Every structure is written in C-alpha cells, then in structure tokens.
Structure 1
C-alpha cells in the first residue's frame, strides 16, 4: 500500500509540474490584471525551443531551459503589445496566440519528430523520492511567489495594478510597465513548463506535446483562487487524475476515457462556475480590463 501511495504521489507530482509552472505564470499575469489564454501556445514554443537547443551539436540542457523561457517570453511579448500597449481584447489576443504558438511549434517541429534526446535532465533522489529538478523548482517557486505577492513592495504594487490600476497610477506606478513585465514573466514560466515536457518528462518532441495542459493551467488559476500555494494542491489533484488514467487502464470496469476526459470536464465546470459568479470572489477587480489613463 505504501509503495502504491508513493508511486501515485511521485507520478502526480511529475504530471502536475508543468501545470504548476504554467499556472504560477498565469497567476502573475492575472494578479496584474491581464488575462492570458495563450499559455498553451507558450508552452508549445517553449518545448520546441528547449528540444531544438538540447539536440543541437554541443547542446546544453540548462541553456535549453533558458531558450524555452525566452521563447515563451517572446510570444508573451506579442500579448503584452496587443493588450497593454494597443489595449486590444485580452481574450481574443490570448486565443490567437494559443493557436499561433501551437501551430508554429507543430510546423517548425516536424524536423525533430523521432529525433533522440541522448541527455535528458537527470532526476534527483531526495530522501528516497526520485524527483525532477523542475518539480523542486516549481514547488519552491510557489512559495517564493506567495511571499512576493503578499510581503514585498513590488508584489503589492503588482496586486494594486490588478485591483485598481487608476489608483496605482495616481500613486506614481507605471501601470503599463508593471503589466508588461508580469506578462513576460508569465510567458517565460509557461515556456519552462514546456521545457519540462521536452527535456524531462517525455524527453522527446512530438506534435501536440502539450495536449491541452495549458488550458488546464488557465482554469487551475481560477480553481485555486489566484493563490500560488493552493496551486500546488490543484496541480497535484489534476496530476492524480492523469495518474489514475494510466494506472487503471485495463484494471477497472470504468473506461479509461472517463479518466482521460475528467481534467477537461473539470475545466469546463470551473469556467462555468466562474461565469455564473461573474468573476467575483478572489479575482482581481481589474482583471481583463484595459487601462486608459483618465478613463473611469
């Protein structure tokens, strides 16, 4: 029983790692008032960039991770340009970037399909647990982000921009700069989530590698109430669902398709409930609204 529990925990942590990284990035975006539905695309380009650098002659794995973060941030910069500078609809921009990112990654990644990755990021053995360094980073980052948002001056500034950008502007805060930096940081984390898939979890490249994880991460932010530490439990929860999908395959009268669909069903439920609540609760008051100085 203990072995089964440990296996379930380790597998859930592994599957939950990209969800946690991507959702932490989305929390940064949305705490600053910017909705980012392009996480799926940013994860995809991050995965491709990481794999391309890793399989290149003399490729370095940690340089590959940096390339993934840069690719995610680059795609996020388009979202920042559209939503912060040009004040375009945040939902439309995010959806467009999700399609652009996944499409571009699928097209440019054709040459890497089937290519071997001889050196994956090695796992660590911590107190008997075999765990990816990406997972350790994600867990530590959740704690650091919670501290940043609640206990630092710049974190409180970010939250004020998301809650009441006009009031923050009056106090001398550059709303556009804060929001842009938050979007770029969120995109970089989404790219690192993609790097985990390409360099650690699957250690390969395949079209549609993200398989909807980015969309689940977006919903996970709502599910955990925009709280970084709660995101750990949310990522574990979805990780357990994915683990059950494989564990019970052929060993349960319940069709495995039920477990395969469960994360996406929960995403729809979370979004539906959020719609019924009218984005109330813990959502930043200025979420999804472009800020124009002088407008109420």
Structure 2
C-alpha cells in the first residue's frame, strides 16, 4: 500500500497528458482525418504555456495560449489536407517536426528554468480526507478534466447526439453525408481544430502540472503514444481515457523502478512505455479476432473528399 498510492498518483498525472491528446485525436479521426502532428502540437503547447504563464503570472492564461496555438497549428494542417487535399500523413509528420523545432527555438531562453507559477491540486471536499485513498481525490484540474468531464462529454456528443452522428458519418462515408446536407469539410475542419487544441492543452498539462520545467524534447514521444492509443481503444473516448491511465501506470513503473533501484538497466525501464505501445497494438489483434473488429478504423479515414468525386 505504501508504494501503490504514489504509483497510482503518478499514473493519473502522466496518464492525463495522454488522455487529453488521445481524446482530441479520437474526434479528428472519427471525422476521417489523421493528425500525426500531435507530438509537435504538444511541444508547442507546452512552451507557449510556459511563456504565457511567466508573462501573465496566470496558469489559466497559459492554458488558453496553449489551446490557441494547438488549434492554430491544427487549422493549418486542416486547410492543407481537407481543403487542399494534401497527403495527411506527410503533413502530419511535417507538423510534428515543425512543432518540435519551433518549440526548441522559442523555448531556448526558458530551458531548464522552473515555471513561475503552476496549478495547485484541487481537493474534493470530503473524499480527499479519506484514509489511504484520499490523495486520489486531491489532483490537478487536468486530471479531473482528462478522466472525468472530457471522456463523458466526448462520448455523449459522439454517440448520443445528432451532431455526433453527423461527425461519424463524415468519417465513414463522406459522400453519403454530403448527399443529406452535412457540410463535410466544415465538420472535418472543426474536429481537427478541436483535436489540435486538446493536444496543445496536453502540452500545457505537462508543463503546468506534471513537470514544471521546460526542456527540449520533454514530450518524448507521448504524442505518438496518444495516436497509437486511439487505434488501440477503437476510436472511443472513454476507452481512450482508460487506456491512457494504463499507459500512465506503465510510465510510472519505469520511474519507480529507477528510484527503487530495481536490478534492471535504466535504458530498459525508459523504453517500457514504447515497448508496451507496440505489444498492446499487436498482441490483442493477433490473439482475439473480435478485437480487430473493434479496432477497425472509420472507413474514410485518411481519404480526402471532394463533392465532384461523389
């Protein structure tokens, strides 16, 4: 029990970063657009959050700035791929490299310096005083958002509203959606921009809550893991949150293993999240045919749409 509670606390913190980015990617891919620029948008969101927070002394303004830069980067991607029919994979990879490089340049002056102010934890009245598990209800606002409000909201919008039905139709059969009057490009662009904003917010979560010191390369592949989680969870927001918590636990184990002096080389412990991503993408699909069906992508994912091609 002594080790279990800190381990779960770390899993919630690290998992919230993945959950925010993954749920944003769920929205984009449900609409038929692959955003492989999540890693770069997270890096940009993190460094802009640092600069905005240091300038304003308000982490809330830092979050708004991260949301804006994430949405702006995704808007550029959306205009290129949705309106301009550019290759989604190439544009996404280019956005990742652009975001990583630009964040390194912008953040050069604050590298290694702690953020002036960051988010404090929000204790839940009553629950935070419980013995043993009370600390689980004394988390940053990002944790409550990533594992509570956002998955529920995304699920309700996607599967319980007419808007969500239209969004999923755009990702499955844009020609049919267009035929009944659904503005395909507008839906796709809105989903991509929303997903990009959440990727920027995930970067802000990392710098304003989990690791309040900016350093180049601090995102360390978490954006790619978030993209993989979307496939693993079958493009479902609640499952994305649960999968993110699991991978947050895997990441925490690597840190705890080094801190506890486990007889495992640090390099092996550091690679466990990425190894786990590969294994959990391959093994369930190989062993369980039903899992392959659940992990099936939207039919029009990655395919540009033009009305004259209907």
Same fold per superposition (TM over 0.5): yes
Counterparts of 1:275 and 1:238, CA distance in 2: 18
Contact 2:57–2:116 (Cα < 8 Å) also in 1: no
Task: Name the residue aligned to 1:150.
Answer: 159
Secondary structure (helix, strand or coil) at the match of 2:32 reads: coil
Q: Which moved more, 1:253-262 or 1:217-226?
A: 253-262
Note if contact 1:222-1:274 (Cα within 8 Å) is conserved in structure 2. Answer: no
Q: Does 1:133 align with 2:167?
A: no
| 1:231 to partner: Cα distance | 1.2
- What does residue 219 of structure 1 align with? 228
Q: Who is 1:109 aligned against?
A: 107
Matched, 1:243 2:252: yes
Cα contact 1:33–1:163 (8 A) shared by 2: yes
Q: State the SS of the aligned residue for 1:87.
A: coil
* TM-superposed deviation, 1:259: 2.6
Give the equivalent residue in structure 1 for 2:209.
200
1:270 Cα offset (Å): 5.4
Give the whole-Å Cα distance in 2 for the aligned partners of 1:266 and 1:200: 25
Deviation at 1:275, TM superposition (A): 10
Partner of 2:86: 88
Q: Which moved more, 1:280-289 or 1:79-88?
A: 280-289
Q: Deviations along 1:236-276, whole A, 9 cap, x unmatched?
A: 11111111111111532232322311221233445667999
Residue 5 of structure 1 and its aligned partner are, at CA, apart by 2.0
Structure 2 contact 26–236 (Cα < 8 Å) conserved: yes
> How many residues are treated as equivalent by the alignment?
293
Q: Whole-Å Cα distance in 2 between the matches of residues 89 and 195 of structure 1?
A: 28
Aligned to 1:262: 272
Partner in structure 2 of residue 29 of structure 1? 28
172, 196, 212: which is aligned to 2:181?
A: 172
Q: Where does structure 2 lack aligned partners over 5 or more consecutive residues?
A: 129-133
Distance (whole Å) between structure 1 residues aligned to residue 49 and residue 152 of structure 2? 25
**Deviations 1:95-145 (CA, angstroms, capped at 9, x unpaired):** 000000010001111011133323211112232223111110112101110
Partners of 1:272 and 1:252 in 2: CA distance: 28
Corresponding position: 1:190 with 2:187: no
Instruction: Give the secondary structure class of the aligned counterpart of 1:121.
Output: coil
- Asked if the contact 1:241/1:259 (under 8 Å) is kept, the reply is no
SS of 1:294's equivalent?
Answer: helix
Tell me which residue corresponds to 2:53. Answer: 54
Query: How far apart, in 2, do the equivalents of 1:91 and 1:270 lie?
Result: 22
Q: 2:242 aligns with which of 219, 233, 239?
A: 233
Distance 2:181 2:283 in 1: 36
SS where residue 123 of structure 2 aligns? strand
Structure 1 match to 2:131: none
Stretches of structure 1 lacking an aligned partner (at least 5 in a row): none
Distance in 2 between the 1:107 and 1:274 partners? 41
- With over 3 angstroms needed to count, the CA separation of the structure-2 counterparts of 1:292 and 1:270, relative to structure 1, is farther
